Amino acid sequence: MTHRKIAHLALADGTLFQGFAWGAEKCVTGEAVFTTGMTGYQEVLTDPSYTGQLVCMTNPHIGNTGITHEDAESRKNQPQVAGFIVREPCDTPSNHRSEESLQRYLERHGIAAIGGIDTRRLVRTLRDRGAQNGCIGTAPPAELVDRARAAPSMQGLDLVSRVTPTESYAFEETRGDWRVSFDPHSPVTGASKLSHERPLHVIAMDFGAKRNILRCLVDSGCRVTAVPASSSAKDILALQPDGIFLSNGPGDPAAVGYAISTIRELLGQRPIFGICLGHQLLAHAVGAKTYKLKFGHRGLNQPVKDLATGRVEITLQNHGFAVDIPSLGKRAVSTHVHLNDGTSEGLSVPDANAFSVQYHPEAAAGPHDALYLFRRFTDAMLQRA
């Protein structure tokens, strides 16, 4: 490994971690968080839900499979994280699909990273004290601490406006060779209960949508039109959708009041399906509240129980806020809970034909545990038709 310049990660509470500069050499701030996935670092880097965050990978060896542009989750194939934190970066990837090294990818997109730090110590710190703002850079440590303390809090921060598209667009990608071979008799991957000849038109409110979620909608027989988060209910309904999808996205859901108002107007107009931030925004639309988790749920192997069936799904998650279940009131019903801490993982609004989940059913952590949700959405649209 070539000589690296000394860098530090400084947390707002004054804790310092020494390592070396990696990726683009600059000073960046953001909320320091960790994700527990052993694989999928490229999906983490490009997921718009990580906007404004310094992401620590708990797996120590990162970069060994390089970068494959087909696997990017952001529509423009760009990293979305504010900064990247690893134990041991790999300079020489070995993967027949790799098109670029991780080091080059980060440099090309101006993403600051730090390597060589004790990531186990960092994870314990964030787990025990909670997620907090941090700063990565080669400047004097005291300056980095000051910058971390001056960074805006994630609570109350609208990050959707940074990642939502400025114009509507048609999404036509499929998962191609990676598509699941559906068993028509399976309760999980089976086909829709009702057949349909024409594509179902889904309007996706893009709060920072992952490409693979939209691909799953296309694979489910939908024609997908994504619209900006600021779109009005009138404009959305004018597109004559069969259903409305509420995407994932970054930041505090309570700060995205314009989207909450739109969703409230759309309730009952068409079937609605929300994922991650979309779940939280749907909860706000029916009058519920959200709160910030101590360190969030990020990574694989998150166990979720479907309260209706008793099935346990192994899921991938990426969120720092959660729906307050008691605040749902009588209009919405809690449908899924996290088995580690009992937090909200799904809800249903029966009188509005709307439902949502907090986790990412497209991410194949189970690997097919949650694909039935896309079938549930298409069935709801078909039954309405």
360 classed as catalytic: yes
Beta carbons of 205 and 259 less than 8 angstroms apart: yes
Give me 121's structure tokens.
């110590």
- C-alpha–C-alpha distance, residues 275 and 169, integer Å: 20
In a 3-state reduction of DSSP, which class is residue 198? coil
Q: Which residues pair with 276 in a beta bridge?
A: none
Half-sphere exposure of 177 (CA within 13 A, CB side): 2
Which one of 90, 222, 276, 279 is the catalytic residue?
276
Which one of 31, 73, 345, 362 is the catalytic residue?
362
Give the burial string for 120-138 (b: 16+ CB within 10 Å, else e). Answer: eebbebbeeeebbbbbbbb
Task: Find the helix or strand (DSSP H, E) in which 259 lies.
Answer: helix 257-266
Beta carbons of 49 and 77 less than 8 angstroms apart: no
362 classed as catalytic: yes
Residue at token pair 């979309």: 278
345 classed as catalytic: no
- C-alpha–C-alpha distance, residues 259 and 66, integer Å: 37
Q: What amino acid positions are annotated as catalytic residues?
A: 276, 360, 362
